[in-house]
Amino acid sequence: MYPIISGDLVVWQDNRNGEFDVYVKDLRTGNESSLTGEGDQIYPDVSGNTIAWEDAKSQDIAYYFWDQKWGKTYPRPGEQTSPVISGKTIAYVDGAPPQTSIRQLDLNNWKDDLVQSGPGQVKPSIDQKLIWLNTLSGRPRSISVAPGQTSIICQAPGDQSLPVVGGDDRVGYYAAWMDNRTGNPDIYVYSLSQELELPLAAGIYEDMYPDIEGSIVAWISRNPLNQYNIEDYWSIRTFDIAIENSTELTYGLEAAAPVSLSQDYLSYLRRPVKDFGWMIYVRPLYEKEITPDFPPNGINQRSGGEITVYQDDKKGSWDVWMWKMGSDPVALASDSSDQTNPATDGKTVVWQDNRNGNWDIYAYDLNTSQEVQVTDDPADQTYPDIENGVIVWQDNRNENWDILLYDRNVQKEKAICIESGDQTRPRMKTGRIVWEDSRRGDKDIYIYENYMP
């Protein structure tokens, strides 16, 4: 029953001995053999030389390396069923119905990851993507499996810009961006698992500058129909994907400016007195905001962990400042040259720096208090972002803008996208990188998934 073929190997379940066993036949040699023993072994799958099946007796999954002639059961608490395999990745259903989740096991490093928590996640299938059925919605969901897959998210008319990416295992993973297909800036989101694009904020007024952290999407929105009859009346709105709830978190802002989310904080800009310039504000996401008496001046703020970084020119050139919640801001990179466009994941701060006559990427490790130069190419490297030691930026060493990264964990540089046109404004989170891409003329949104060194 249930024959599956991959290359020269055919596998199936067979009850010729009174119980279901997993059999394999090598088409090159014609040899046929049983791989299993006591108890029912069912629903086999094969990819290359790796075979997986469900051990109905122990309610675990099992695997066998045909070229190495050994295998074993993969013990895990609870019930594991319906294994499918591609390469060295096994996906399976974890838990008893209806509380079923989808997990995947990487046999290269024995890492087992939750793909989608339950209930109601069933019937996985896998090739270059892992797809399964969400019985609650009746819709299939999917993720990329192979490392380093690049795909287009949106190529609608007009420009799509300022992409961000985020999410978690609970709600899935999403990209969001600013979109002017209607001639007016709107916010769109794209579910990576459902491969579904939705307008999140697409009214008659402007919605701009999205960011994502976990299940929360934030952006800035203009609402001239306010109680004060102020035309330029801006507010920061959030949408919680987990509970499908929209909130006006901060209101009465004077102008549009980017917002930034960390796990517990939102940072944003205000200009209450025009002559005083932009000021940095940071508020808790889930508690009442306490406004400082004298917020620091600055622009291009980014938050990560309990850290907010920004740039300020109070000393005559642009410097990078760091503001940790509960402490005073401190200058992190300050000299006569310019340091701009900082970003942080709460552990490392990165920025672009022209102290050498061109734009290079620098990093500051908050654990060691050490500054390092990341790039030294004579071309320009700008707009960095960082996640867990992986630094991504846009790079014009090939006479147009490309996306490159440097992984401090393995000390290697890697090209992510070097296509025609310009690839710009990269953002990285959850092992995924998104960017603006003009290879087709106007700006589209592309993604690189499953980064691995």
Q: How far is CA 215 from CA 169, 202, 218, 315, 366, in A?
A: 10, 20, 10, 39, 27
* Tens of pLDDT, residues 142-173: 888 877 889 999 999 999 999 999 998 888 89
Contact 124, 116 (CB under 8 A): no
Look up residue 56 and give its two tokens: 């109905």
Q: Quickly count: other Cβ atoms within 10 Å of residue 364's Cβ.
A: 20
Residue 226 pLDDT > 90, yes or no? no
Q: Which of 177, 247, 242 is nearest to 215 (CA)?
A: 242
**Cα(350)–Cα(4) distance, rounded to whole angstroms?**
49
Which pLDDT tens digit goes with each residue over 347-393? 999 999 999 999 999 999 999 999 999 999 999 999 999 999 999 99
pLDDT of 210: 98
> Does residue 334 sit in helix, strand or coil?
coil
Which residue has 């069923």 as its token pair?
81
All structural domains of the chain, each given as residue ranges with its CATH number in brackets, are 4-144 (2.120.10.30), 149-449 (2.120.10.30)
Share of the chain above pLDDT 70, in %: 100
pLDDT tens-digit readout, 293-328: 889 999 999 999 999 999 999 999 999 999 998 899
Q: How confident is the model at residue 230 (pLDDT cuts 50, 70, 90)?
A: confident
What distance lies between CA 288 and its chain's CA centroid? 29
Task: Output the 3-class SS for 250-300.
Answer: EEEECCCCCCEECCCEEEEEECCCHHHCCEEEEEECCCCCCCCCCCCECEE
Give the bridge partners for 89, in sequence order.
86, 106
State the DSSP H helix or E strand holding residue 5, giving kind and residue range, or none if neither: strand 4-6
Q: What is the mean pLDDT of the chain?
A: 94
pLDDT band at 453 (very low <50, low <70, confident <90, very high): confident
Q: For the whole model, what pTM was predicted?
A: 0.84
Q: What is the DSSP string of 130-141?
A: EEEEETTTTEEE
pLDDT score at 78:
94
Cα 444 to Cα 162, 194, 222, 344: the distances in Å are 10, 20, 24, 25
